[in-house]
Amino acid sequence: MKASSLFDVSDLVTVVTGGASGIGLAYAEAMADNGASVTIFDLDQRRLDAEAKRIGAQRVLVDVTDRNALHRAFDETVQKHRRLDVVFANAGIGGGPGFLALDGTRNVGRAFEALDPDYWDRIFKLDVEALFSTLQAAAKHMKTGKGGRIIVTTSISAVKTETVVGAPYVAAKAAAAHLVRQAALELAEYDILVNAIAPGPFVTNISGGRLQDKEVQAALAKHCPLKRLGHTDDIQGLALFLASPASKYMTGASLTVDGGTTLGSLE
């Protein structure tokens, strides 16, 4: 089997939520560069216009937490392309800071009992509720076709405790990870494969670009056996793998890409 057929994503009708920046943009670019027809759903008009144009993708300005608008965006995309093959459910917001600052001292304002309930609501609305709506919309359209692939960006925070991101983020990503398994079980009969990509810290625009700060990077890299944060090109191979025939017997899996962070620190 040639790698070119094994990883063939050409002509696949693909939607990437939160695809105007960071990890989602890397997925969108990997798919578009390899011949897929990509539509980015995002609420950041400026980045959406610039990046979609740059990579040759189509764009829909939508807040994925608006259930009706999200379903409309999927309906219109499918109407236009006549099918839906791949969905990257990726839109998300950051969960930091956590209860410890980078120097290990306590962040009093981010103590468990001090957390703003609105913060819990914001995170759950996007990382869990909007994910559920995205899975529903994707399943509805894929069931009427020849199946499809749904790839959800979770996080290593789904399986490990964190000091630098808050409890709501950790809980929401754990919920997202389990939702992936439940959806995978139910949708297998329709040849809809549902898998997760679980990144460790990646340099993106998340949390106002906090991970672009060199001091933050150095502090977080200490906990990573590969001694650096992820860059968005470190995740593109997984996107192609999970969208292509190479992973046709995989569903309900979670693939970690974290430079070894979940193995534990060498220090």
**List of residues contacting ligand NAD (CB under 6 A):** 18, 20-24, 42-44, 47, 63-65, 90-93, 126, 153, 155, 199, 201-202, 204-206, 211
> Which is nearer to ligand NAD, 8 or 200 (by Cβ)?
200
> Which is nearer to ligand NAD, 33 or 63 (by Cβ)?
63
Which residues share a beta bridge with 37?
13
- What token pair was written down for 39? 């539509």
139 Cβ contact partners less than 8 Å away, ≥ 6 residues apart: 150, 183, 187, 190, 192
- What token pair was written down for 232? 């968005």
Is residue 119 annotated as a catalytic residue, yes or no?
no
> Which is nearer to ligand NAD, 20 or 174 (by Cβ)?
20
Min dist. Cβ of residue 57 to ligand NAD (A): 13
- Residues 244/7, Cβ–Cβ less than 8 Å: yes
> Which is nearer to ligand NAD, 153 or 244 (by Cβ)?
153
DSSP letter for each residue of 68-107: HHHHHHHHHHHHHHS---EEEE---------SB-TTS-B-
- What token pair was written down for 176? 């997202």
Min dist. Cβ of residue 151 to ligand NAD (A): 11
The CA-atom distances, in angstroms, between 97 and each of 2, 101, 200, 216 are: 45, 7, 15, 11
Q: What strands lie across the sheet with 58-61, from one edge to the other?
A: 58-61, 37-42, 13-17, 86-89, 148-153, 192-199, 254-257
Annotated active-site positions, please?
169
